[in-house]
Structures are given as structure tokens and as C-alpha cells.
Structure 1
Amino acid sequence: MRFHLATFAASVGLMLSNDADALNVKMPGVNYIPRKGPDWEPDSTKCKSACEMQQDLHALKGVTDKIRIYSLIDCNQAETILSAAKKAGLKVDLGIWTTFNHSTLQKEKDKLAGLIDSC
């Protein structure tokens, strides 16, 4: 019982000191998906608005400096997220959704090529 009491006392001491504040540490990155509805819904229902995405990214800036997205075409992430991330001061790791559906994969690749060409 002494061990548990000592552990408890040390835990309380750390909690009360500023040395154990978990909020002063930023995560190296966060996966971000701008969805709020199921896949089968139209974009207007399944995707967050540009304003909602901007609010999300400003909130994430408090815990990270980088986000990762999984698709460039889903919810128009290529344009919307990149613009919102720049305003929030976040870096973005781009991802493309790989699938057996050739047309979807080609759209992802074309969007990536367009982003590269526009730089």
C-alpha cells in the first residue's frame, strides 16, 4: 500500500506543478478529413464547408504545425484545405486516394499534377 500511496502522491505533485502540463506539447502532425457525413451523400451534405474547415484548422494550429490529407478530390480538399491551411499557418502533407477504380485514381493524379504545375 505504501507504493501506491507514494505513486499517488507523486502524481498529484506533478499534476499541480507546471512541469506536467500536456497542453504545452505539440503533436508532430494530425490526419485531417473534412467529412461530416457518409460516403454516399452528395458533397454538400457529406463535406464540411470552407468556413468549417478554416475553423477546424485554426483550432488544430494549437496542437500541431502539420496536417495530412488523404485525397485531393474528395470534398475539394486540394483547393479548400490548402488555402485554409496557409491562412492558419499549417503545413500540409498531401495524400492521394489509391483505388482499383481507374477513373478515381486518374482524377487524383491529375489534380496532383495540376497542383505541381501551378507552383
Structure 2
Amino acid sequence: MSSPPSVSPITSFLRWLRLKNYQYEVTFALYMLTPTEKFIFNSLVITFVSLFLMAACVYLPDHVASIYGHVHYYFTADVSMIKDYIPSASSILQGASGPATGAFNVVAASTASLEEL
């Protein structure tokens, strides 16, 4: 009996990539589309996946840190881990001196002028 021919790692990797491409096209029925339609579909898939990954990279670390701070607080009752995530009354009042307060003052002034009438 002769031994089977040895297959190089590059050949087996290319065979694996072709299999995954075939599975992708069969799963999403891309084999029925024209090359232009495949290009449009694949562009949309790549766009959505890249946007999802970018959002995960930007927002997930802060979200995990916030969850960790809350879990730490629940187990130890130590506020030092979550004080950055819970607004205090003074920070809310300091934040209220922005443009929204100006709009509130305009409404209050117009209400006061209506009461004078």
C-alpha cells in the first residue's frame, strides 16, 4: 500500500477558505445573484460588521467598567468604584447653568410678564 500524498499547509488552508466561501454563498443564497448583486450584498455586510465592531471597541470598555463598578458596589458597598457613574446633586446643578437654563429663564420671564398683565 502506498501512503497518501502529503498536502502542504497552504493547500489545505486554501481548500478550507474555498469551503467557507461555498458555505457562505449557500447559506445566504448568494450563488443565485449576479456578480454586481453579490458585490452590493457583501459591501453591506462588511459595512454593518465593521460598524458593529467599531461600536463595540468604542463603547464596550466603558460599559464593562460601569458594570464592574456596580457589581463591586453591590458586594462591598464601596462607592469609590461607581462615583464617576452616578451624578451628584452639585454636578447636576452645575450642569444646569448651560443653555437649557437660559431657555428656562426666558420662559420664566415671559410667565412673569404675563402675570403683570
Structure 1-normalised TM-score? 0.29
Highest RCO, 1 vs 2 (Cα 8 Å, sep ≥ 6): 1
Q: Which has the higher strand share?
A: 1
Q: Which has the higher helix share?
A: 2
